[in-house]
Structure 1
Amino acid sequence: MPWTQELVPLGSGTLTLADERDDVRGMSVMDVRDHRVGEVEELLVDPGERRARLLVVASGGILGLGEHHRLVPVDAVSRVRAHVRLERSDLHVESGFDYDPAPLGPVDYTSVYSYFGYTPFWEDGYRAPYFLDRRG
């Protein structure tokens, strides 16, 4: 069953995170093979719990031209230290889902979670540890 609420970009200024340490915007993103994927440009936040649910990872391009913005569930984060480390490869992220900052209606993120192989946070049985728990 699709989740019917909207995820809100943290940068919109309409809400804050439940824990400010969750704000990983601006951090480099590395993949499972130590390849640089890009940078966390934005966080999409569940307004009910005020928790980041998706990273918007910017990569490629020069001075913003030709830049790609891909969605990555926070469940794909294996560790957060000086950078965000993913459990997936840069190629997996690159061939994933584009982020549209101005969708024309409600967005069903089920396909993003399915592509990365995770249960969506709104479904029964979701027990994945939150990415903040992976700091250290």
Structure 2
Amino acid sequence: MLASSGAPANRLRLEITESMLQHDLTVTIGKMQALRQVGVRFSLDDFGTGYSSMSYLKHMPLDQLKIDKSFVDEILIDSTDSAIVRTVVTLAENLGLEVVAEGVEQREQLELLIAIGCRAFQGYLFGKPEPITRT
């Protein structure tokens, strides 16, 4: 599809979830590596909410970790969630991976995430989902 459309592969980022990795991990990694060779990038969504394994991070051709909204929701009031987010940001930084915090809804959450070292965000603070409009 990429070749026939002419779309630049490096502009495509596929999100995978930890639950998708419970099947044949070797086959999944092989397919990811083949796509990576043509420039496709990968993001691990909902990191830390499934059956997290650090071996995923070692063996998978990832570019980005996405911090799940469930950790961001209470980052201001729950020291455990704050510690988890800090740890994920530090881990990603040390592995050369980007980090995106999902579910940012409050200015205070954004400010704390920036202070922690997170540089990319998603959430209602920035905009709510909108229907597709056709032109």
TM-score range, shorter chain: under 0.3
- Kindly indicate which of the two structures has a greater share of residues assigned to helix: 2
TM-score when normalising by structure 1: 0.25
- RCO (CA 8 Å, sep 6+): is it higher in 1 or 2? 1
Whose radius of gyration is greater, 1 or 2? 2
